[in-house]
Structure 1
Amino acid sequence: MEKREKRQKQKETFKKVLRYIKKYWFYLILSILLAVITVVLTLYIPILIGDAVDEIVGAGHVDFAAIFVILKRMAVVILATAAAQWVMNLCNNKMTYGVVQDIRNEAFQKIESLPISYLDAHSHGDMVSRIIADVDQFADGLLMGFTQFFTGVMTIVGTLLFMLSVNAGITLVVVGITPLSFVVAGFIAKRTFSMFQLQSETRGEQTSLVDEMVGNQKIVQAFGHEKEALERFDEINGRLEKASLRAIFYSSTTNPSTRFINSLVYAGVGVTGALFAIQGRLSVGQLTCFLNYANQYTKPFNEISGVVTELQNALACAARIFELIEEEPEKPDAKDAVVLNEVDGSVAMQHVYFSYLPEQKLIEDFNLKVLPGQRVAIVGPTGCGKTTMINLLMRFYDTDSGEIDVSGHPITEITRDSLRASYGMVLQETWLKHATIRENIAMGKPEATKEEIIEAAKASHAHGFIKRLPEGYDTILGEDGGSLSQGQKQLLCIARVMLCLPPMLILDEATSSIDTRTELKIQNAFAKMMEGRTSFIVAHRLSTIQEADVILVMKDGKIIEKGNHEELLAAGGFYATLYQSQFAV
């Protein structure tokens, strides 16, 4: 049953690959035609060699004029064969890397459309491995298939036809031994697919670990986790070694096995042809021609056996890529979804229920009404649902039940793009792309002028350190901000929002990595920016939210206290206790 399922999966994967190839049908047909021409010309050469041998009757009886004519003909045929092969390879490269480009584009587009819940639940390194390493392996197998498979099959068919035209008896000897090659190749191919699939999956796991460790090397070293990380890497590397060795062992037996059978074919042709020559039923030139054909006939079996192995690897990699491509995308916007152009800043959450896992309740019967321009601060212990609420407002996750309205519209009836464009976000986790500082600040407003960018940087107090950099605003940042401090990266993220000035703001620990002196300046800038804008401020440092219009105190996914700073202190509840613990002398 399991074997049947594997075969079925392999067939389905192959059909999917064919759908991508279909787009390049012109190059496919041209490649096949050129393969036919190449094979015919290649198989014509042994006939010319046989004719030349027959012109050498014995000592002093050599027809040099006839041999010279044959040699000229051979030179033309060889040049024509080389030209046909060159054009065929161009077609094969065009098809292979066209298909690879299409698959990579589709895979990357799928990542862009996948729900955040999928990205949170799956290893980023494994996804990178699928798009990079697996597609590369797939390309290698596909290119070998195009390059050698077509030519190999044509050579086998063409050789048989040419041999039949010379001598049917010896041809039957060749055909009789041939099935052994198919039996051996088929036996090995069935066992290599699952092994290459395991190898590909383990490689993805290894890529994920490397990505995780390299990206967080400071933390690894700070907590002395190097030994554990190395042990884990060794364990995965050991499994990859075993999987690779098993896959390579079986695949490497293909070539020697088919070569042995090919040698039987050659020996059979040699012995049978010699007997026919002795009986005068075959000339020496024709025997030479037949022996050449025996080589030509058996050579593709070696190549095809190698191609079959590579195709097993390619199909195993393709299956992993298609798994990603076929993942359920984020639920699309409704056809009649509203584009949010006029945003008044009002937000309402009515009887909202949400949990990441069904068995772990998080937000239950959550109700909130925010007036336009209000500054709403959200505080509470870790894991109480503060960031989850932000995820729901941005519609990174959809509620299990209940409704969230923005400017009087349910957010499920608003296009995601227009909803998210209405918010400006500054998160505790900074993200900067590999580009200039200018491009990073202007990410949300690419058409911004230089003056606007500088003004935003000054407002966020980033202008000073930017001017001290070698290239100023044209300084190219490395991955995730390169050598900039965490505070400097956060200032650039703040400048990015200050440039766009959307109608609503979300500040999730926006000043957590900034020194106290700069924080006071930033708070003043934020105060100006928040004037007339609905703002949600998530903070642990209560000093940053004292000016908020409403403070929501959350615990276990529920609002347990609500009011402004003075009201909550006077109430002497959870907020007052939290505040006193932070400012106790």
Structure 2
Amino acid sequence: MRKNVFIRFWAYLRYYKGSLYLAVFLKIIEAFASVLEPFILGLIVTELTTKLIAHTPIDVGKIAFLLVIYAVRGIFSEIGSYGSNYFMTRTVQRSIYDLRLDLSYKINKIPVSYFDGHQFGDMLGRFTNDVEVVSNALQQSFLQVINAVLTLLMVIGMVLYLNLQLAIVVIVSIPLTYFSAKFLLNKSQPFFKRQADVLGDMNGFVQENLTGFNIIKLYGREEASAEEFDGILDELQDVGFKASFISGLMMPVLNAISDLAYLIIAFWGGFMVITGSLTIGNLQAFVQYTWQIGQPIQTLTQLAAMLQSARSSLERIFEVLDEDNEVSEVTETLSGDLTGQVIFNHVDFQYNEDKPLIKDFNLEVKPGQMIAIVGPTGAGKTTLINLLMRFYDVTKGAISVDGHDIRHLSRQEYRQQFGMVLQDAWLYEGTIKDNLRFAKLDASDEEIVAAAKAANVDHFIRTLPGGYNMEMNQESNNISLGQKQLLTIARALLADPKILILDEATSSVDTRLELLIQKAMKRLMEGRTSFVIAHRLSTIQEADKILVLKEGQIVEQGTHQSLLDAKGFYYDLYMSQFIQTAE
């Protein structure tokens, strides 16, 4: 049986339970002080009215004593309110900090396959929105729920103490108020959810149309776009009206119930005052308690939805924390740097059990060789690299590097031997120098410049404002895509890897820059084992061996010229690109 997520979250709160208990204690004081107010005022009213009616001297000392108690009560109420919020905020924020820290650690331990199966937006939502929902719910709702429950219990106790008959009226109004509020909330909630969905549709529509504004103008789609937007606005207006109208009925309905209870207590209590079975001060207290009943019930009803959202968010967060970590069976260690000998020995692999991708794959790569991998989309090119990098483990067979089965090596130690440049150039917010140093944190400025020169990117960097100290923005769009690719190649070279992997590394580079990269890579790949995935076949003509993949199998292998002479699948691929280029 799965543990309740709120109970499980106690593992984070318990480290700060001192602050939590203090917050609850101060909230109890605040609630008690709040409930005590009508009773003290009732005593004052009783003292004044009875003495005035009887034309006897007012007991000033008693009145003064009651006023002092009232003032002290007010001070304790304020201290309780401020103190409980302060300590609760501190408890929640520290617990959420620990939760975020655990998520950060976890994300570096779970396998790459997990990210392949989850959308980026979904993962981002768990780290940001879901954690924030939990934080807000605990910080805003927890103490309010305690205050509401305590207020109800104390009010019931006070009215029972004052008068049993009138207490029945107040107690009966509690479930009536609660179920009325819950009914209206259940009716309005679907419209609020639909309102949020339509609002998301509207935001998406606006973003999409602003992004493609030129295309809309080009094809004369302005009127159609405006009509579609009008349709979204009409639905938003409709569901927004229904949500606001139904939820707006809550206060009138709850006030009507309170008014009814108030009228009953006023008439019945007034009669009891006349007959002398109830003091006028206690009647006044009953009236105040009647009004105090509605607010906590409404609070409990409204916070139920917030707590439910927090529960859903916690479930999504714990789903990530419960994921299995990457399997680590380290039985071998590298005695030194790799030479770059790679052997695929009868390798099978499949992402899904019913869909085998690579079957009985065999390959031997000698140190220093450049291996090019080509083939149509879905042939398994990137999958081979994922297996080599241990982003995934083979289903059958083995991959060995320098005689070591890579499954028996530490992933971190093993991957430090690799340099990798992906098709999607990734840079982060910071200086160009910091981005290059990302591959080797202890690299000196001279090493950074040397790597940039080797990648033929030094001149470009120096033409930028600030040179190596130019700040990249968050999206890294203050330089071109091709320039970003050059920087990522320089970053990989700075690491001085023993095995180099280029996955469509020149796909975003123009012809002139491509020639510069090829010249630099020819010099720098000397002595390194290199794997190059390319659709642009002109970039791999000097490869020592070209592997032609189709449906996870090597259908051809050889040098560029030998494969052209064979006039097989590679020949067809090359000629199709040559003809397209010529046209």
Give the TM-score range, shorter chain. 0.7 to 0.9
> Is the CA contact 1:548–1:565 (under 8 Å) kept in the aligned structure 2?
yes
How much has 1:36 moved relative to structure 2? 1.6
> Is the CA contact 1:213–1:220 (under 8 Å) kept in the aligned structure 2?
no
* C-alpha distance in structure 2 between counterparts of 1:226 and 1:130, whole Å: 37
Taking a change above 3 Å as real, the CA distance of residues 438 and 129 of structure 1, as seen in their structure-2 partners, is same
1:315 is aligned to 311
Taking a change above 3 Å as real, the CA distance of residues 159 and 24 of structure 1, as seen in their structure-2 partners, is same
1:5 is aligned to none
Aligned mate of 2:75, from 79, 94, 97: 79
Q: AA paired with 1:29?
A: Y
Q: Where do residues 334-413 of structure 1 align in structure 2 (5 Å cutoff)?
A: 334=329, 336=331, 338=333, 342-413=337-408
2:97 is aligned to 101
1:488 is aligned to 483
Tell me the secondary structure at the aligned position of residue 364 of structure 1.
strand
Tell me the secondary structure at the aligned position of residue 178 of structure 1.
helix
Q: AA paired with 1:70?
A: L
Q: AA paired with 1:399?
A: V
Tell me the secondary structure at the aligned position of residue 58 of structure 1.
helix
How much has 1:182 moved relative to structure 2? 4.3
How much has 1:55 moved relative to structure 2? 3.5
Tell me the secondary structure at the aligned position of residue 173 of structure 1.
helix
2:17 is aligned to 25
How much has 1:143 moved relative to structure 2? 2.4
How much has 1:521 moved relative to structure 2? 2.8
Aligned mate of 1:574, from 550, 555, 569: 569
Aligned mate of 1:58, from 16, 32, 52: 52
2:148 is aligned to 152
Q: AA paired with 1:47?
A: F
How much has 1:220 moved relative to structure 2? 8.5
Q: AA paired with 1:153?
A: V
> Is the CA contact 2:330–2:407 (under 8 Å) kept in the aligned structure 1?
no
* C-alpha distance in structure 2 between counterparts of 1:21 and 1:79, whole Å: 29
Q: Where do residues 279-298 of structure 1 align in structure 2 (5 Å cutoff)?
A: 279-298=275-294
Tell me the secondary structure at the aligned position of residue 430 of structure 2.
coil
2:123 is aligned to 127
Taking a change above 3 Å as real, the CA distance of residues 560 and 381 of structure 1, as seen in their structure-2 partners, is same
1:143 aligns with 2:143: no
How much has 1:45 moved relative to structure 2? 2.5
| Number of aligned residues | 575
> Is the CA contact 2:337–2:498 (under 8 Å) kept in the aligned structure 1?
no
- TM-score of the superposition, structure 1-length normalised? 0.85
Q: AA paired with 2:310?
A: A
Q: Deviations over 1:507-551 (max 9, x none)?
A: 122223233333333223212321221111112333322322222
- Range with bigger deviation, 114-123 or 391-400: 114-123
* C-alpha distance in structure 1 between counterparts of 2:345 and 2:463, whole Å: 49
Taking a change above 3 Å as real, the CA distance of residues 406 and 116 of structure 1, as seen in their structure-2 partners, is same
1:42 is aligned to 34
* C-alpha distance in structure 2 between counterparts of 1:531 and 1:353, whole Å: 31
Q: AA paired with 1:58?
A: L
Segments of structure 2 that go 5 or more residues without pairing to the other structure are none
How much has 1:62 moved relative to structure 2? 5.0
Taking a change above 3 Å as real, the CA distance of residues 309 and 508 of structure 1, as seen in their structure-2 partners, is closer
Segments of structure 1 that go 5 or more residues without pairing to the other structure are 1-7
The Cα RMSD (Å) is 4.0
Tell me the secondary structure at the aligned position of residue 4 of structure 2.
helix
> Is the CA contact 1:189–1:312 (under 8 Å) kept in the aligned structure 2?
no
Tell me the secondary structure at the aligned position of residue 481 of structure 1.
coil
Q: AA paired with 1:366?
A: F
> Is the CA contact 1:110–1:329 (under 8 Å) kept in the aligned structure 2?
no
How much has 1:391 moved relative to structure 2? 1.5
* C-alpha distance in structure 2 between counterparts of 1:247 and 1:231, whole Å: 24
Identity %: 37
1:277 is aligned to 273
Aligned mate of 1:525, from 508, 520, 523: 520
* C-alpha distance in structure 2 between counterparts of 1:573 and 1:465, whole Å: 41
1:176 aligns with 2:172: yes
1:4 is aligned to none
Taking a change above 3 Å as real, the CA distance of residues 513 and 173 of structure 1, as seen in their structure-2 partners, is closer
* C-alpha distance in structure 2 between counterparts of 1:500 and 1:216, whole Å: 38
Q: Deviations over 1:241-274 (max 9, x none)?
A: 9998888777666655544444444334333322
Q: Deviations over 1:546-572 (max 9, x none)?
A: 322222122222112222234334434
